[in-house]
Chain A
Amino acid sequence: EAGVAQSPRYKIIEKRQSVAFWCNPISGHATLYWYQQILGQGPKLLIQFQNNGVVDDSQLPKDRFSAERLKGVDSTLKIQPAKLEDSAVYLCASSPSRSGNTIYFGEGSWLTVV
């Protein structure tokens, strides 16, 4: 079974530029999450999708971050304009359903803003 796929793995941009990250969850997983992990901290949930609808985006900085999950499969997370403090690993994860099932993570997209 293929895992959660993310791209790009690494990205370096200048502040005020834009960046987009892509995620393809495990086939059949209805729930998709984006987490932000700043160096030295645990991951923080940014947004949760159930199929193509948003369940929770309370911690998403909506003035600069946006995310979509068209057709309820893959998802894109965008940052525009980027700030230095956005430097982090962006982890995508998926789960079969909104129950106690395990959440599976991708390898992450490393963002450095200079």
Chain B
Amino acid sequence: AQTVTQSQPEMSVQEAETVTLSCTYDTSESDYYLFWYKQPPSRQMILVIRQEAYKQQNATENRFSVNFQKAAKSFSLKISDSQLGDAAMYFCAYRTPSGGGADGLTFGKGTHLIIQP
């Protein structure tokens, strides 16, 4: 079974600075998808960024980018120019491609990101 590990329960960063959230995963699959979701206190999961394992290029979405190291099974999220609205829980998630079986997301335990004004 796949597992996702987020080793940082909490991170704090000054507004406008850069922060990196770590994620490692374990899988025997060669083709899969990785995601970072943001969860504010309202509890709705909001997609931040996604990465296809077959793509070597790291995904980027505005101030959010990832460092995907497939051999190391590492998938970190970098947030540049941190804003107060970035404060939330961040979850790393893994998904296998459909193949006749379950393909729901497997989540890590999350990292609580605090933005210091």
Contacts and interface: CB of A to CB of B under 8 A. Distances in A.
B42 A98 contact: no
A41 B39 CA distance: 12
Nearest to A6: B44
Interface residues of B, number: 27
B105 A103 contact: yes
A110 interface: yes
A91 B43 contact: yes
A45 interface: yes
A55 B101 contact: yes
A81 B63 CA distance: 46
A105 to B, nearest CB: 4
A22 B44 CA distance: 16
A97 interface: yes
B44 A45 contact: no
Contacts of B37: 105
A56 interface: yes
A48 interface: yes
A37 interface: yes
A57 B46 CA distance: 24
Interface in B12-52: 33, 35, 37, 42-47, 50, 52
A100 B29 CA distance: 14
A23 interface: no
B109 A41 contact: yes
Contacts of B104: 33, 35, 45, 48, 56, 103
Contacts of A45: 102, 104-106
Interface in B69-117: 91, 93, 95, 97-98, 101-110
Interface of A: 31, 33, 35, 37, 40-45, 48, 55-56, 58, 89, 91, 93, 97-100, 102-108, 110
Given A56-B104, A93-B45, 16 more contacts: A31-B103, A40-B109, A42-B108, A42-B109, A43-B45, A43-B107, A44-B107, A45-B102, A45-B106, A98-B103, A99-B97, A105-B37, A105-B44, A105-B45, A106-B44, A110-B43
